[in-house]
Amino acid sequence: MSIAAPNFAQYLRLLAPFPCARLRSVSTRKPKAGSDVTGRAARKPMSLKNLAEHLALSPATVSLVINRSPVADSIPQDTKDRIFAAARKFKYRPNFLARSLRTQRSFTIGVIVPEVSDGYSASVMSGVEDYLLQEGYFYFVASHRHRSDLIDEYPNIFVERSVDGLIAVDTPWRLNLSVPVVTVSGHNDVKGVTNIVLNHSRAAELALRHLFHLGHRQIAFIKGQEFSSDTAVRWDSIERVARHLGLTKNGSVINPRLVAQLEGDSPSPQLGHMATKMLLASGEPFSALFAFNDISAMGAIRALRESGLHVPGDVSVIGFDDIQSAAFQNPALTTVRQPLREMGRIAAEILLKRINRPGSDLHSKHTVEPELIIRETTAPAPAVRPLAGRHRS
């Protein structure tokens, strides 16, 4: 479990100018009363009353803005900007303990993710972090690594630590808690939980129509792991679009020999590499491959190259998510973009609205739209499709 705080980046910047290898002698003389350890006169902390007097505003107005009270929405933005500018100038800090006791809130959010280091969770977390830091909230992050016992245990641990609400990323959700909950890529219908989800039907249509218009008819697929929240809903969408385009076998199902599933919980491209090796070993020809995510698409491209196949000349590849490194692959990866950072920001925004205004934003679902990002790994289908399982001489 890790902790993040609104002033952590500033703290690192303060440390940066002081090289660890350089030591300086420190005087052992006791500083005079009323001075700090350097002997200089200690500056008395700015009080809320003094800050309000400096701004010619009432202490109540300054307090509402500094503490980001919902009532502060009615205060003009230029007034808010003046208050925050003055607070920064005089290094004013509100009394957190008094604020918590007064509001009966901890101003802390719990965030649950499968894995901190993978591209998907990191991208969502960046959006969550952006909004929470902007609003002055602390947050705790716990990764469950798909262990069912931790998925059930962590939410209760967070509640015991008095978090004001929870955000669960790509995590199956079955609990009804005493605090507001928002999930990202959650598809469980639980009372009081808001789900931020992608329009998977549109995503499947964007990817498959792109390949279809390039002339591809034999398309291989890498499905997500069974434990991933998006696997089932995305595959259902792919099958519906494939039937509509005539890409199914006997008009009903996708050729099972052209489907491989990711196995294991590693966030490494190795899983996509292994799945593609299975597809190649089947001997079933294909001229395009649609991967479950960008990480597995990267592993797939490596496996295709090792088999003597060129991407996209012989096999086109589409990923999913559009993580930051997708554009910097060689060749740059064509992918279906999930607005992951935006999904994280929306989750945090809705959660704080529900915390600040109980009963608001109780919609069970908030849907975001995908976008096809065409780069260098897709091209027109070759005139003679290679037998994907055969090495070239």
Q: What is the CATH number of the domain that holds 249?
A: 3.40.50.2300
CB 156 within 8 A of CB 162: no
Please give the Cα distance from 77 to 96 (Å, whole number).
24
Name the percent of the chain lying above pLDDT 70.
Answer: 80
Sorting pLDDT into bands at 50, 70 and 90, what band is 248? confident
**Residue 372 counted as domain residue:** no
Give strand pairing partners of 195.
183, 365
Q: Which of these, 80, 101, 91, lies nearest to 47 by C-alpha position?
A: 91
**Residue 22 counted as domain residue:** no
CA trace torsion 273, 279, 281, 286 (10° rounding): -120
Number of separate domains in the chain = 1
**Residue 116 counted as domain residue:** no
Which tens digits make up the pLDDT trace of 163-186?
Answer: 999 999 999 998 888 899 999 998
**Residue 207 counted as domain residue:** yes
**Residue 160 counted as domain residue:** no
**Residue 225 counted as domain residue:** yes
Q: Quick check: 378 pLDDT over 80? A: yes
Q: What value does the mean pLDDT take over residues 34-56?
A: 69
Sorting pLDDT into bands at 50, 70 and 90, what band is 314? very high
Q: Quick check: 72 pLDDT over 90? A: no
CB 294 within 8 A of CB 222: no
CB-count burial class (<10 Å; 0-12, 13-18, 19+) for 391 = exposed
Q: Quick check: 360 pLDDT over 90? A: no
Q: What value does the mean pLDDT take over residues 258-278?
A: 94
Residue 312 identity (one-letter amino acid): P
The pLDDT score that the predictor gives to residue 393 is: 34
Q: What's the chain's average pLDDT?
A: 83
Please give the Cα distance from 332 to 378 (Å, whole number).
10
Q: Any idea which residue has 């950072």 for tokens?
A: 341
Please give the Cα distance from 315 to 312 (Å, whole number).
5
CA angle centred on 128, ends 350 and 75, rounded to 5°: 55
Number of residues assigned to the chain: 393
Residues whose CB is less than 8 angstroms from the CB of residue 290 and which lie 6 or more positions away in sequence, other chains included? 207, 208, 211, 219, 220, 221, 222, 238, 318, 320
**Residue 241 counted as domain residue:** yes
**Residue 327 counted as domain residue:** yes
Q: What value does the mean pLDDT take over residues 130-157?
A: 90
CB 324 within 8 A of CB 310: no
Lowest mean pLDDT among 88-102, 308-322, 351-365: 88-102
Omega before 331 within 30 of 0, i.e. cis: yes
Could you tell me the residue range of the domain that residue 232 belongs to?
200-339
The pLDDT score that the predictor gives to residue 47 is: 82
